[in-house]
Amino acid sequence: MQTSQTATDLIKTYEGFRPEPYYCAGGVLSIGYGTARNYRDGHPIQLGDEIDEFSAELELVCHIREQVEPALDRIFPNAGLSFPQRDALASFVYNMGGGNPKRYETLVRLVNERAPDHEICDQLVKYRLAGGKRQLGLYRRRLAECCVWLDRPFEQAQYADWSTNWRDLTGYVQPVPVIPEPEPEPEPVTKPEPVPKRQRFRGRPRRTIKAEQPQPEQPQPEQPVEPRRAPISRRTRQPHEVPYRIQRDAGLKPLEESKRAMGYVYQQVGTGIVRVGAGLGLGGFGFVAQDPVLSTTVVTLFVVGAVFVTGWVLREYGDWKRERGEYEAQQGLY
């Protein structure tokens, strides 16, 4: 980004034109509109040289394009300068020099940090010394650069004195920062103070216990006295739990019925054993007839006889037990 004609006019106004070489306030040999040390072709300035206004302005413009603008890009890389701000800094760097920016490092920091305009202008007017002394011409130049920075006309700064302030000169009104209203703090939740134990129950009415008054006895109706019965054992089965083969409402099965049933069981078991013994006897005779080694009549008769006798005994015992149960049931014996 190049500087505009405003920067050239500002430099020409405060440098002034001199056709012959002269020593500036810093002791440097200069000529024209402040061209110092060398011409644009590299030839050094010497005493006795002479230059016209056109050549002096040409030397000034070439110096701005070749020296000042590259210095602005190097010193203020992140400033995001507008055209008026760039013109103001071009005049400042042309006057102070761009080779050693440490001389004005505070201004460099503020510009690169994009500080507010009033902070930059307050710092800019501080650079008004030459040879360790205050120079009114430098102060007027700084005021003019403040006007250009704020995009105001700079011609009125030529008549300023030490009492002139850049704010009054430019009509600058510092914007009031908008402070957001603080959010209302939530009301603190206050917990009720605990009531001491001694006072905790003082507000409650005491409960009075009334004495019970004797009630007149009322005659109770006489109830019939039931006969006392013996308790029923838990092992006694109810009628609906007994597996009767006859009528279900016949009552509990007496003891004789059980004896008769057991006799029938023994009778059936004995009959089955007798049949088994008869079968073994027939099979034994057939087996002995085929095997001459075991053909002994004693063994065969012993086995068959033992089985047959056992079955017969059980059968007879069952008949006797069944008959005894039927007899006791008929006689009603217990």
In this prediction, residue 263 carries a pLDDT of 67
Confidence band for 244, pLDDT divided at 50, 70 and 90: very low
H helices present in 159-254, as ranges: 166-170, 197-200
What is residue 250's predicted lDDT score, i.e. its pLDDT? 47
**What integer is the mean pLDDT of 43-49?**
93
Q: Which pLDDT score, from 0 to 100, does residue 256 have?
A: 47
Q: pLDDT band for position 33 (50/70/90)?
A: very high
**Is pLDDT larger for residue 129 or for residue 273?**
129
Sheet holding 29-32, edge to edge: 18-23, 29-32, 35-36
Q: How confident is the model at residue 296 (pLDDT cuts 50, 70, 90)?
A: low
Confidence (pTM): 0.54
Residues 185-238 pLDDT 10s: 887 777 777 766 665 555 555 665 555 666 777 777 777 766 666 666 666 666
How far are the Cα atoms of 7, 38, 61 from residue 69, in angstroms, in the given order? 11, 18, 11
Short-list 242, 85, 75, CA closest to 150: 85
Quick one: what percent of the chain has pLDDT higher than 70? 67
Q: For residue 176, what pLDDT is reported?
A: 80
pLDDT band at 74 (very low <50, low <70, confident <90, very high): very high
Q: Is 3 left (phi over 0), alpha (psi -120 to 50) or beta?
A: beta
Is residue 324 within 8 Å of 262, Cβ to Cβ?
Answer: no
Note whether 264 and 322 are within 8 A (CB): yes
